[in-house]
Amino acid sequence: MTTCFSSIALLGGTFNPPHYGHIQPAIAAIEIIGAEKLGLMPCKVPPHKQLAEVNQTHRVKMTELACSVDPRLYTELCELSLPAPSYSVKTFQALRALYPQTALLFLMGEDSFYHLTSWYKWQMLTDYCHIVVMRRKGCKPPLPVEQKKWLQNSYSEVECGKFESISGNVYLVDTPYFTVSSTLIRQELANYFHAGPVAAKEIEHKIIKWLPPQVFDYIKANRLYDAVIT
């Protein structure tokens, strides 16, 4: 008799702020693969990124508020408890200790997947989780030879909700793509706080298409990003 494991999908990010461009493709991905829960996982500033200054407490609170858009969402704070530097393989090693008998699904944008060989101990990721690559239409660069060989041993077709192992596979799923970025949202929020009433209303019409209303209300109440334009 084949054993099927319960499943948790995890999406990491700075969530500065969390927006529908993060949430909606991830929800589409878990519906395709049949994951039971989706953890939004605020990360420490990764080694290859710079973060416009909004403190960790605000990022966590905004992520918690963003989770209210779907009952399957929750906030996973594992990475924030780990010592620096922050590497995905170390995070999933810690998560595996927390969830020893659960299929862990690491949701990853296609751009990140095509740069995977630059990550710290990237080949070890599937020792602790499955990788779910959220694809979008368009031309794809060639995979590095090393990654292509690795993928031949790891790739698996999606069978919704049936995870016969807790780690080891790479799944490719087609998800919607949102052109909005956190950088653009921060710029528009800075403009919003310093605009006159008419211009602010026009900017708000754009912002509410990008942010869950609870997140936008929190940003307004705390005047986050009013001077952040990068």
d(CA 220, CA 203): 13
Q: Which of 18-27, 56-65, 111-120, 152-161 has the weakest average pLDDT? A: 152-161
Domain that holds residue 36: 7-174
Q: How many CA atoms lie within 13 A of 223 on its CB side?
A: 4
Per-residue pLDDT at 161 exceeds 60? yes
pLDDT recorded at residue 137: 73
**Residue 155 β-bridge partners:** 170
Give pLDDT tens digits for 168-211.
999 999 998 888 889 999 999 999 999 999 999 999 999 999 99
For residue 65, give the nearest of 30, 15, 29 by alpha carbon: 15
* Dist CA 40 CA 130 (whole Å): 16
pLDDT at 124: 95
Domain assignment of residue 106, yes or no: yes
CB contact at 8 A, 217 and 51: no
pTM here is 0.90
131 pLDDT tier (thresholds 50, 70, 90): very high
Residues 105 and 199 in one domain: no
- Element (H or E) spanning 218, and its range? helix 213-222
What total of structural domains would you count in the chain? 2
Number of Cβ atoms within 10 Å of the Cβ of 193 = 17
Question: Has residue 39 been placed in a domain?
Answer: yes
Considering the domain architecture, whether residues 155 and 200 belong to the same structural domain is answered as no
